[in-house]
């Protein structure tokens, strides 16, 4: 057998330090790729979440002023007070009209 042939009795002479460095490099590369992939996946999930929140916000922004979603309790209270005041103003208008028409003919 010559020096370049590989057979059963061939011995591999390798530097143990070189093998450890190679294993460490490959392990570090795998770890960095996995970490990078996790970061990319996190960013993709954030984008999906933001798109979903944007759609919900758009729906809220359109439907809330129309009253399709509902109203705040404070809005309902305010609406009741406005209706009550409208009723009182209507009664006062009637009273003023009566006073004006009854006294309008006399000096």
- Per-residue pLDDT of 53-84, as tens digits, reads 999 888 888 887 777 777 776 777 888 899 99
pLDDT for position 50: 95
pTM over cut 0.95: no
The per-residue DSSP string of 24-45 comes to HHHHHHHHHHHHHHHHHHHHHH
Domain boundaries, the chain: 13-70, 71-107
**Distance set, CA 22 to CA 15, 17, 25, 26, 32 (Å):** 11, 9, 5, 6, 15
Low-confidence ranges of the chain (pLDDT < 50): 1, 105, 107
**Distance set, CA 40 to CA 54, 93, 106 (Å):** 21, 69, 89
The answer for residues whose C-beta is within 8 angstroms of residue 79's C-beta and 6 or more apart is 71
């Amino acid at each position: 057998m010559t020096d370049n042939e590989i057979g059963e009795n061939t011995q591999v002479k390798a530097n143990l330090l070189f093998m450890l460095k190679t294993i460490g490099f490959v392990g570090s590369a795998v770890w960095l790729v996995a970490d990078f992939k996790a970061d990319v996946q996190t960013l993709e999930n954030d984008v999906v979440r933001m798109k979903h929140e944007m759609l919900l916000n758009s729906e809220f922004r359109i439907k809330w002023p129309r009253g399709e979603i509902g109203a705040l309790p404070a809005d309902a209270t305010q609406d009741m007070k406005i209706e009550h005041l409208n009723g009182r103003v209507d009664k006062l208008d009637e009273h003023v009209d009566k006073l004006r028409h009854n006294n309008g003919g006399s000096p």
